[in-house]
Chain A
């Protein structure tokens, strides 16, 4: 990674791998008790919920089943055991790589996750990309002419969107694009009549959910970038650059944006939990066969193994997001360092 600059003898820049690795290690140690507590919490909350796993498991057949029959199923599913036993059994099995069987999907938990993970990642990554690219672009444009019409419109829209729940945006989008205009499909991964998953089909079905999820995340990026760039525009380096007669584009992108981006780096990490909850709602609204839709099913059916595995996954994603943003921040601003 040559900088192309002559700065004494260090022609090559090296990342501070040592401190970064130590930080990652400390975080990993910290993650273990967090995950333990979270999984136990999930078991406890699900156990205290009014939903009955046997009723969810048996569905309509359960309404005419005999009590003896239902009790037998309760025992077969292992949900008649005390909370701590169930949690411990799950935990010890999970540590050996056996995540158990999902009672609602009637599949091993590992299969459920493997089948659905890709679709969720595709959706979340597209949405994140939309939010970051669009948010940054709009933020820079708005900061350039603060108080201009674009700034005022975009800021007003951003505050409104910040307050709008993702599922409401989703329903609105379905109503407008799928029902009124009829240009985009309302839900699913492919057309109902089609069994074959083609890239074209998926792309057209991805547009609405990804746009809705992306747009629901966009205001944060927009507002951060706008503020950061606006502040940077008042700072010395920018003044210096302008004084040297650099083009406005160079000043804006090369100087102001670069220092204005710093706060956004922390944002990327901290938006991960929001992205996950947003995906939860968006996947449900759009019947997107991802991991988040499965979470909702698992929760309402009190499907302990699936619920616990998904929570571990979500928690890990959040912890990784935090780690990533701290690493990025430490890299961007050496004063912060990697002590966290």
Chain B
């Protein structure tokens, strides 16, 4: 209403009442508003020195902060520790365990001695019962943990005394120790609540280097250093992860100084090259882009077509043009340079040979240049996730390379809701990759029995030799036998490439040059909170301080 007082000449009852009513409504609205201004997530702040606070921008937000629901299952969870942890070279080191586990001769029993004197950030001691509780809860059918199949091998877990935990496996699972980087939850808190919806899922307590000070969903997650951390109090006292899904907004906020670091796509990271105060960190990854050639498609399942596409595609140009050099050609799930990569399985771009393979197999070019065999035209659709520029670029480049060999590929954008029902017959530009053990990714990607199981084996790949090698690699405890098994898989993928692997993508992070000790691990496809140079922010040292 008008700010000026209205001086009535001939007052009527109604206007007066309206005025007071409106004033009342406004006042009420303001009061409710003010009452809502309590801070649900207060935390300490205070005079902090240069470099003692870090704010980074990330693109993905965890669904939950409870390890029981899958948070931090691959380590670097900040709030929690696992029994083991991965160091900068992806080697296992003890964390809540005092040493690496003792593995029985048959590979079925893993015994962990626990670190003594560790306390949760609420002051209660950590013990073997917390470990048993964590694993048993995750495996419970009532727990909504989508990653629990990673622990399928576990038959039983027991505590023998306060200081020892023994895992018994159903079958010898060679990479099991790597699964135990999974964070440990406190039984005394989490056991008293509903595992799926209790407050622990958003306000967790752990043994880790940081404690949570606030999680404003869709906006940011803030941490402060745990002063009583068993590994020593971190020097970066305050750490905030801002969740910014849009790449451009993230880059702008980094430039504006609102962020100290951020993950950026190659074209935006390029813009910070001349900035002397910032450094770009390129993390090597297992993150591949691949095209599924589904076993349910008459053209794509043809071995000659698969082989031809595999060499008709110009991977190096994709790396140079699409990734601006930040990546490398991919010939299989394992990146070149990894100890698990099979030398000699690199493919060279050879369009002429691709054409010859198709000619020999009876795929003859028609009038429009598209080949056909027995009345079947060499064409199939290729789906990519709508809105994903990188996948779109890969899909278009792939279709254009295929066209040169006489195979017509129609690219189409869609959401997973649209794509998933079509995966049996239509090709998909997919992404994936998990570092560490080759079993993690390859078993799910290539095992024939997992065809059509959720998003596993999206190409319905079916190769008995590969199936056998994957089992062998999974169960054998001997490194040499395992290496031989995964060599077999990679060689089979040359003979029968049910997926055309295109590139392994570097993840680029631009960070203020205010800290020492920044490194990157080898990163998986899903690079959320745990990846980036801040994987070990607890070890950062602000520049200019004594080490």
Contact = CB atoms under 8 A, between A and B. Distances in A.
B270 interface: no
B16 A253 contact: no
Contacts of A192: 55, 220, 240, 242, 253, 258-259
B16 A121 contact: no
Contact of A64 (B10, B142, B444): B444
B144 A57 contact: yes
A115 to B, nearest CB: 5
B42 interface: yes
Contact of B528 (A52, A60, A68, A328): A60
A203 to B, nearest CB: 10
A196 B340 CA distance: 48
A331 B63 contact: no
B146 A106 contact: no
A253 B144 contact: no
A122 B197 contact: no
Interface string B14-36: 11111011100110011011111
Contact of A250 (B7, B55, B64, B66): B7
A249 B417 CA distance: 63
B2 interface: yes
A208 interface: no
A245 interface: no
A69 B201 CA distance: 20
Contacts of B4: 249, 253
Interface in B417-450: 417-418, 432, 444, 450
A332 B14 contact: yes
Given A63-B455, A254-B9, A265 B240 contact: no
A328 B64 contact: no
Nearest to B20: A1
Contacts of B145: 61
A73 B144 contact: yes
A77 B197 CA distance: 11
10 interchain residue pairs of minimum CB distance? A118-B36, A122-B33, A195-B43, A58-B146, A61-B146, A101-B197, A125-B29, A50-B417, A197-B39, A65-B146
Interface stretch (A24-32, A36-44, A89-97, A182-190): A182-190
B219 A67 contact: no
Contacts of B147: 61, 64-65
Interface stretch (A130-138, A147-155, A162-170): A130-138
A193 interface: yes
Contacts of A73: 144, 146
Interface string A194-215: 1111010010000000000000
Interface in A47-78: 50-52, 55, 57-70, 72-73, 76-77
A133 B2 CA distance: 7
Indicate the size class of the contact surface on chain B: 35 or more
A1 B16 contact: yes
A193 B240 contact: yes
A108 interface: yes
Nearest to A288: B219
Interface in B228-270: 238, 240, 242, 249, 252-253, 256, 258-259
Interface string A109-135: 000000101110110111011001100
Contacts of A61: 63, 70, 73, 145-147
A103 to B, nearest CB: 8
Nearest to B243: A287
Contacts of B87: none
Contact of B2 (A59, A101, A118, A257): A257
A41 B516 CA distance: 56
Given A124-B29, A241-B9, A250-B7, 15 more contacts: A3-B13, A60-B528, A63-B454, A67-B454, A70-B146, A101-B197, A121-B29, A122-B33, A122-B36, A126-B33, A136-B1, A179-B256, A186-B252, A189-B219, A195-B240
B16 A188 contact: no
Contacts of B240: 192-193, 195
A18 interface: no
Contacts of A76: 141-142, 144, 196
A4 interface: yes
B488 interface: no
Interface stretch (B209-217, B311-319, B371-379, B463-471): B209-217
Interface in B144-196: 144-149, 194, 196
A64 B2 contact: no
B217 A196 contact: no
Indicate the size class of the contact surface on chain A: 35 or more
A interface, over-half SS: helix
A297 B245 CA distance: 14
B277 interface: no
Interface in B70-120: 70, 73
A208 to B, nearest CB: 14
Contacts of B455: 62-64
Contact of B33 (A77, A125, A249): A125
Contacts of A67: 453-454
Contact of A69 (B14, B41, B42, B146): B146
Contacts of B432: 64
B41 A51 contact: no
Contacts of B343: none
Nearest to B56: A192
A204 to B, nearest CB: 13
B8 interface: yes
B40 interface: yes
Given A76-B142, A182-B256, A195-B42, A13 B216 contact: no
Interface string B37-76: 1111111110000000101000010111010011001000
A122 B10 CA distance: 37
Interface string A8-30: 00000101000000000000000
Given A70-B146, A254-B6, A188 B219 contact: yes
A334 interface: yes
Given A51-B417, A101-B197, A125-B29, A115 B218 contact: no
A287 B219 contact: yes
A198 to B, nearest CB: 9
A258 interface: yes
B208 to A, nearest CB: 18
Contact of B32 (A121, A188, A241): A121
Given A65-B146, A194-B45, A118 B197 contact: no
Contact of A202 (B37, B69, B73, B142): B37
A293 interface: yes
A177 B154 CA distance: 56
A336 to B, nearest CB: 11
Interface string A253-273: 111011001000100000000
Given A77-B144, A136-B1, A60 B39 contact: no
Interface centre among B15, B73, B144, B258 (most CB of A within 10 A): B144
Contacts of A15: 17
A113 to B, nearest CB: 11
Nearest to B65: A106
A122 B26 CA distance: 11
Contacts of B37: 118, 122, 197, 199, 202
Contacts of B256: 178-179, 182
B403 to A, nearest CB: 30
Nearest to B73: A61
Contacts of B70: 61
A289 B37 CA distance: 12
B197 A186 contact: no
A5 interface: yes
21 contacts: A1-B17, A3-B11, A50-B418, A62-B146, A66-B453, A69-B149, A76-B141, A104-B63, A118-B37, A121-B29, A122-B34, A122-B37, A125-B33, A129-B26, A179-B256, A186-B258, A192-B259, A195-B45, A254-B9, A258-B6, A297-B217
Contacts of B252: 179, 186
